[in-house]
Amino acid sequence: MQLPTPDALARCLARRLDARARTIARAGFTAVAEALYPINDLGAPDWRDADMVARADRWLDALPPAPRALVIVAFAAVELGAPVLAPGSRRLSRLPPERRAALIRRWRVSPIPSLKLVGEALKQATTMIYLSHPAVHAHLGVDASGMAPEQGP
């Protein structure tokens, strides 16, 4: 009997993901985006100005099934797993944004490699979406005129 490859397992998982998993993952992504790119008085675009949730949805839709499934599972796991990752807490989206940001910062510098990986993955995925928005380019003074128009997130 031959075992399925990791890619075959990921494709199977991708097919089994339903709308509920995507909804939970969206709540996790929104919770992270709101915490890391908050409304501010600095003039920098916040998570809503950068349209992060809708753009993350488009990015997920553009990913092949296996990586898409992994990203959905990651954000859904963080959303539902907050009580395990931060004892005494609730779902990530139900925590105040400041507490979420503090948790993610703590995970990113954790001596526990798996927590550090989670924190870094959250920061990297949301940063990619944030930094690719034209309003953020304008705020940073980046000339994005040579970039391909809205092919990415």
Q: For 63-102, how does the pLDDT look when each residue is reduced to its tens digit (9 = 90+)?
A: 998 899 889 999 999 999 988 877 777 899 999 999 999 9
Q: Which domain holds residue 99?
A: 6-140
**What's the pLDDT at 149?**
54
Give the mean pLDDT of 32-61: 96
Question: Does 81 reside within a domain?
Answer: yes
Question: Does 150 reside within a domain?
Answer: no
Overall domain count for the chain: 1
How many Å is the Cα radius of gyration of the chain?
17
Question: Does 128 reside within a domain?
Answer: yes
Band (pLDDT 50/70/90 cuts) for residue 125 is very high
Question: Does 152 reside within a domain?
Answer: no
Question: Does 151 reside within a domain?
Answer: no
Distance between CA 85 and CA 153 in Å, rounded?
28
**pLDDT tens digits, one per residue of 2-30:** 777 877 777 776 666 668 899 999 999 99
Q: 120: which 2 tokens?
A: 């870094």
CB 15 within 8 A of CB 4: no
Backbone angles phi, psi at 96, to 5 degrees: -60, 145
CA angle 63/75/129 to nearest 5° reads 55
Question: Does 59 reside within a domain?
Answer: yes
Question: Does 117 reside within a domain?
Answer: yes
**What's the pLDDT at 153?**
53
Band (pLDDT 50/70/90 cuts) for residue 142 is confident
H or E segment to which residue 83 belongs: helix 65-85
Question: Does 125 reside within a domain?
Answer: yes
